[in-house]
Amino acid sequence: MGTIPRTSDVRQGGMPVASEMEAFFNPSSVAVAGASSSAMKLGNVTLANLMRFGYRGKVFTIHPRAGEIMGVPAYPSVREVGERVDVAVGVLPRESILDFVLDCAAAGVKNVIVCAAGYSDAGAEGAELQRRLEEAVRSRGMRMMGPNSVGTISTRSGFVTSLMSLDPIEPGPISIVAQTGLFAGGFALWISSTQLFGLSKVACLGNKADVDEVDILEYLEDDAHSGVIAIYSEGIRRGREFWELASRVSRGKPMVMLKGGSTELGMSMAASHTGSMAGEDAVYKGALAQAGVVVVDGIDALFDSAKALAYCPLPAGPNLGVVSITGAGTVLVADACHRRGLPLPPPAEKTVRRASEGLPEWAQLGNPMDIWTATLQGSVEDAYRVILGAFAEQEDMHTILVVYTLVPESEFDGAEMLAEMRESHPGKPVLACFLGASEVDRKRWFRSMEEKRIPVYDSIERAVGAAWALARYADWLKRSGG
């Protein structure tokens, strides 16, 4: 495929796009408009989040009358702050936005985030308002996220502009680019309260009048903290640029994408990639896959795949070796692998010889391997260790998946065992799946697995889906010479 020239990362103006984006994630100072000293408005939520996340830059707030809000100095206009403002956040009604943006321009503020809705999300009149807003911003050399955007989260700098009251999120390797505020809202809360994978950056783009996925991708490409990029999009406007950039970014870091809406992106991708306007899901999925993007079909799958790609080495091939404490697990894994096109090679003679140590002589030794029979004699822990070791040893079992249901397993430390196995076979991804189990056991095992960066899932379909994402990306990388 050859090296793709970096044509899109310097805009007309001459400043690299990635540098332009920096102030959306790591600004030295921020001005927030839309907080109040008397009432709890959405702008106050933004201020509170900045405090809770430990943002260390300067914070100003813009208010016509207040002297300070929540301990933050207030100014009647951005123009009167009298200090450099890296980014301004407008948590204001639609009617006040244009004036706010013009004030920012006058004050030399280069980056604005516009939260107001009611633009291209609101019919023809809104679209016209958005066009004017876009023009105002572009003609003044500014960059705008939104409108209808809740902005960004940057866990390391503690910069956060969400309108939802959040708790701090652990830094981690996954960055998210989304058109919806969900990922800086409900899902941010879900991650901070239950997940251990952590986040690097989140950008919620809203209507994308100016800043879009291409801009953010330019930035994340060279962001050392972003190891995996997860994207939720409802339509890529700059299809060809996105495709070229994705093809390049994918060589360095995996990208997973969920497309919301069944036709728009397809039409845009097809129009810009193949010149066709007739493209639908299959076309854009084909184009994205060709660019190395792992395309998934739901939010769960987006997180599941991103987590596996963040935790695991890439497998040498698509094959799975599966060990399950439940016979139904072996059957359902086989079904799920079949649907995903993931082969299950038979255990080699040597594998069978080793595996049979912990099982009754009549046990059937296949792949998936049912180790329930080990509960009938001897130690289940030993059986797991021996069989998993034998499977990991077998070269053509490229990824190992273990299906637990946490009954005899409650007796030993399964995460420790998998971590040891991974140490002996560092090139081999190891995934776990838990079916059922009591809330307490489940939480304990999930936590101990995730603490050791072993991706764990609560359904067979989800675990196999994550294994598929690993295989899919690994295969693309190999084929593209990466």
Residues near its own copies (CB under 8 A) are 42, 93-94, 116-118, 121-123, 125-126, 164-165, 167, 178-182, 185-190, 192-194, 232, 234, 260-262, 297-300, 326-329, 331-332, 334-335, 338, 360, 362-364, 372-373, 375-376, 405-407, 434-442, 459-461
Closest distance of CB 370 from its own copies, Å? 8
Closest distance of CB 49 from its own copies, Å? 12
For 318-368, the DSSP string reads: S-EEEEESSHHHHHHHHHHHHHHT---PPPPHHHHHHHGGGS-TT----SS
Closest distance of CB 142 from its own copies, Å? 24
Closest distance of CB 267 from its own copies, Å? 15
68 token code pair: 């300070």
Measured from the CB atom, the residue of 332 and 415 that comes closer to its own copies is 332
> What b/e sequence results for 300-329 when a residue is b if at least 16 CB atoms lie within 10 Å of its CB, and e otherwise?
bbbbbbbbbbbbbebbbbbbbbbbbbbeeb
Closest distance of CB 194 from its own copies, Å? 5
Closest distance of CB 329 from its own copies, Å? 8
Measured from the CB atom, the residue of 215 and 370 that comes closer to its own copies is 370
Measured from the CB atom, the residue of 61 and 373 that comes closer to its own copies is 373
Cα separation, 259 vs 213, whole angstroms = 13
Measured from the CB atom, the residue of 238 and 442 that comes closer to its own copies is 442
Phi-psi category of residue 175: left, alpha or beta, with phi > 0 → left and psi -120 to 50 → alpha: beta
Measured from the CB atom, the residue of 121 and 416 that comes closer to its own copies is 121
Measured from the CB atom, the residue of 338 and 478 that comes closer to its own copies is 338
Helix axes 264-273, 281-290, angle to 10 degrees: 60
Closest distance of CB 185 from its own copies, Å? 5
Which one, of 190, 116, 196, 202, lies nearest residue 158 by Cα? 202
Cα separation, 352 vs 297, whole angstroms = 37
Cα separation, 318 vs 372, whole angstroms = 26
Measured from the CB atom, the residue of 316 and 328 that comes closer to its own copies is 328
Local structure of residue 236 (DSSP, 8 states): -
